[in-house]
């Protein structure tokens, strides 16, 4: 009996998975296949935190298939090579897969199509990773948008996405299964020193965890989203769905329609709900940028930034930033949250990123690479678009010379210092007045709080008056060359 092979990549779910649904409805037995491909993405293969997440997500996906009388086959290697092995061993009637948008996706999908054409079998590609496909949202002249606000207006005016598909209740199995690697054989978990305890405490990877997180947010978080989303100390103020979206454990159109349904049932939540959907559209916007600019992870969108006078590489300063030892509490809290949980609150991401590229003048690609390795939601589109936005060289980045003041940002968005106290406990006994600027605290206040600057907590690594002016001078050179 021939099979419909479903290739799983960034769509690790059963519900609203168009490729899986089409395969189930094809009348063939279904062969679900996941390939760990460390070769095709090149240097953008999964980072450490993402590999941890993937391990647990695959375990949950495999359980979902077993509950439906099926199995998830695991292999590793270049995707096209693995697919060729499967085609040699199994009578495959068609290959079904979800569309990708990464720089390597077009070549990969062309390779899959050629393999299928040579074998004389169907090759079917489906959407599902975005609310709106890149071809669906264009300017009146037919060009891609480069500014978010008109992009969002166009999304609101466009035909809404299709309703999400239910998960198949039963999946027909092949008469015989091809060989599968064990999950442990993929070596996704860290070897040696295990730093993932905080990740385990913070997250529940998989489709079930994604659904639960959405349910919780819609019930108790969405009603205050607009006012609280920038407050990192407030638990439940944001959805924290980003890693689930990144691995496709929940579809964006499921989130879209569940949110619209909540708004319809509770009209008083409309402003907050639409603001949440606006953030979902930002994700689409990043993917549209990447789709139309495949070199986005490496090359500034604004050509004049190629001549930006970045500082000479300073590994000591970069390491201090990575470890959360800059001497600026809100920056350090964010970097430590990242290391402990694989996540950083979005407002704090902007503050920490601005500090790296503007106060330290360290190239945005260094920050991009660190986030890629340490974020559980490391996403090739969001990561590159966001770093370019902060650096000022990306889309919608005006005023490009904006430099976040970490003290003022901390006082505004963490006014009681609860976030800093959570992740920088050596400062926890400082009064609110000094929690974001401990260097201004009198010596007796520092002693009472058990803080010894330069010992238990570092002195600020830069004088912000000097670093800010240096950044402005650097941006002035770009302005003159524009």
Residue ending a domain, among 292, 319, 341, is 292
Whether residue 430 is contained in a domain is answered as yes
CA–CA dist 113, 105 (Å, integer): 12
CA–CA dist 220, 478 (Å, integer): 46
CA–CA dist 474, 469 (Å, integer): 9
Whether residue 316 sits in one domain with residue 256:
no
Among the listed residues 454, 452, 346, 456, the one whose alpha carbon sits nearest the alpha carbon of residue 404:
346
Q: Residue 388 contacts by C-beta under 8 Å, 6 or more apart in sequence? A: 296, 300, 301, 364, 394, 395, 397
Instruction: Kindly give the confidence (pLDDT) of every residue in the chain, 482 residues in length, as a single tens digit, with 9 standing for 90 and above.
Output: 799 999 999 999 999 999 999 999 999 999 999 999 999 999 999 999 999 999 999 999 999 999 999 999 999 999 999 999 999 999 999 999 999 999 999 999 999 999 999 999 999 999 999 999 999 999 999 999 999 999 999 999 999 999 999 999 999 999 999 999 999 999 999 988 788 999 999 999 999 999 999 999 999 999 999 999 999 999 999 999 999 999 999 999 999 999 999 999 999 999 999 999 999 999 999 999 999 999 999 999 999 999 999 999 899 999 999 999 999 999 999 999 999 999 999 999 999 999 999 999 999 999 999 999 999 999 999 999 999 999 999 998 777 778 999 999 999 999 999 999 999 999 999 999 999 999 999 999 999 999 999 999 999 999 999 999 999 999 999 886 55
Whether residue 86 sits in one domain with residue 210:
no
Residue ending a domain, among 236, 259, 292, is 292
pLDDT at 337: 98
CA–CA dist 6, 120 (Å, integer): 17
Query: Look-up: residue for tokens 């809100």?
Result: 330
Whether residue 16 is contained in a domain is answered as yes
Q: Domain containing 464: what range? A: 303-481
Whether residue 151 sits in one domain with residue 120:
no
Among the listed residues 409, 410, 388, 242, the one whose alpha carbon sits nearest the alpha carbon of residue 308:
388
pLDDT at 480: 63
State the Rg of the chain over Cα: 24
Whether residue 181 is contained in a domain is answered as no
Whether residue 17 sits in one domain with residue 108:
yes
- The residue annotated as part of the active site, out of 256, 257, 387, 389, is 387
- The residue annotated as part of the active site, out of 310, 339, 370, 439, is 310
Residue 6's CB is within 10 A of a number of other CB atoms, namely 28
Is 195 noted as a catalytic residue in this protein?
no
The CATH code of the domain that includes 454 is 1.10.579.10
Whether residue 408 sits in one domain with residue 263:
no
Whether residue 476 sits in one domain with residue 347:
yes
CA–CA dist 453, 474 (Å, integer): 31
Whether residue 72 sits in one domain with residue 7:
yes
The CATH code of the domain that includes 257 is 1.25.40.80
pLDDT at 230: 97
Q: What tens digit of pLDDT does each residue of 294-315 get?
A: 999 999 999 999 999 999 989 9
Whether residue 226 sits in one domain with residue 134:
yes
Whether residue 176 is contained in a domain is answered as no
pLDDT at 478: 87
Whether residue 265 sits in one domain with residue 362:
no
Is 310 noted as a catalytic residue in this protein?
yes
Whether residue 355 sits in one domain with residue 236:
no
Domain count, the chain: 3
CA–CA dist 17, 151 (Å, integer): 26
3-state helix, strand, coil in the chain (%, to 5): 55, 5, 40
Is 152 noted as a catalytic residue in this protein?
no
- The residue annotated as part of the active site, out of 104, 346, 426, 439, is 346
- The residue annotated as part of the active site, out of 364, 372, 382, 389, is 364
Task: Let me know: does 457 contact 426? Beta carbons within 8 Å.
Answer: yes
Q: What tens digit of pLDDT does each residue of 182-200 get?
A: 999 999 999 887 889 999 9
pLDDT at 73: 98
Whether residue 201 is contained in a domain is answered as no
Among the listed residues 45, 49, 369, the one whose alpha carbon sits nearest the alpha carbon of residue 203:
49
Length of the chain: 482
- The residue annotated as part of the active site, out of 39, 109, 133, 279, is 279
CA–CA dist 171, 37 (Å, integer): 25
CA–CA dist 402, 364 (Å, integer): 15
Is 256 noted as a catalytic residue in this protein?
no
- The residue annotated as part of the active site, out of 257, 282, 321, 372, is 282
Whether residue 134 sits in one domain with residue 272:
yes
Among the listed residues 412, 303, 313, the one whose alpha carbon sits nearest the alpha carbon of residue 361:
313
Whether residue 135 sits in one domain with residue 95:
no
């Amino acid at each position: 009996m021939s099979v419909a092979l479903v290739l799983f990549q960034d769509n690790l779910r059963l519900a609203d998975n168009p490729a899986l649904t089409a395969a189930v409805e094809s009348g063939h037995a279904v062969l679900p296949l996941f390939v760990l491909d460390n070769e095709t993405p090149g240097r953008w293969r999964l980072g450490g935190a993402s590999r941890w997440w993937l391990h647990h997500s695959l375990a949950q996906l495999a359980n979902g298939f077993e509950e439906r009388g099926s199995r998830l086959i695991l292999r590793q290697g270049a995707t096209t090579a693995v697919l060729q092995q499967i085609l040699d061993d199994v009578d495959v009637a068609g290959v079904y897969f979800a569309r990708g948008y990464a720089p390597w996706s077009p070549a990969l999908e062309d390779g899959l199509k050629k393999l299928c054409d040579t074998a004389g079998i169907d090759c079917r590609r489906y959407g599902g990773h975005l609310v709106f496909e890149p071809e669906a949202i264009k300017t009146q002249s037919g060009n891609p948008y480069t500014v978010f606000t008109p992009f969002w207006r166009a999304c609101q005016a466009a035909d809404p996405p299709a309703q999400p598909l239910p998960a198949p209740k039963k999946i027909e199995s092949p008469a015989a299964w091809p060989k599968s690697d064990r999950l442990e054989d993929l070596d996704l978990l860290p070897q040696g020193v295990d730093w993932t305890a905080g990740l385990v405490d913070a997250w529940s990877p998989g489709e079930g965890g994604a659904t639960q997180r959405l349910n919780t947010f819609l019930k108790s978080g969405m009603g205050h989203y607009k006012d609280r989303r920038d407050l990192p100390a407030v638990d439940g103020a944001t959805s924290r769905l980003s890693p689930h979206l990144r691995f496709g454990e929940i579809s964006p159109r499921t989130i879209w329609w569940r949110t619209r349904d909540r708004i319809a049932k509770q009209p008083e939540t409309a402003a907050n709900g639409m603001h949440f959907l606006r953030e979902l559209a930002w994700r689409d916007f990043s993917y549209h940028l990447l789709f139309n600019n495949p070199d986005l992870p490496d090359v500034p969108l604004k050509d004049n930034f190629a001549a930006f006078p970045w500082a000479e590489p300073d590994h000591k300063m970069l390491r201090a930033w990575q470890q959360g030892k800059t001497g600026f509490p809100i920056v350090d809290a964010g970097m430590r949250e990242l290391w402990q949980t694989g996540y950083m609150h979005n407002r704090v991401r902007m503050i920490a990123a601005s500090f790296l590229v503007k106060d330290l003048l360290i190239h945005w690609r260094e920050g991009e690479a660190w986030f890629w390795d340490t974020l559980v939601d490391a996403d090739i589109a969001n990561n590159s678009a966001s770093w370019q936005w902060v650096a000022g060289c990306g889309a919608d980045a005006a005023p490009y010379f904006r430099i976040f003041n970490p003290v003022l940002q901390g006082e505004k968005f963490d006014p009681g210092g609860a976030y800093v106290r959570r992740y920088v406990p050596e400062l926890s006994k400082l009064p609110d007045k000094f929690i974001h600027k401990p260097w201004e605290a009198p010596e007796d206040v520092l002693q009472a709080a058990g803080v010894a600057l330069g010992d238990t907590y570092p002195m600020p690594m830069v004088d912000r008056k000097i670093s800010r002016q240096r950044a402005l001078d650097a941006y002035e050179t770009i302005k003159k060359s524009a």
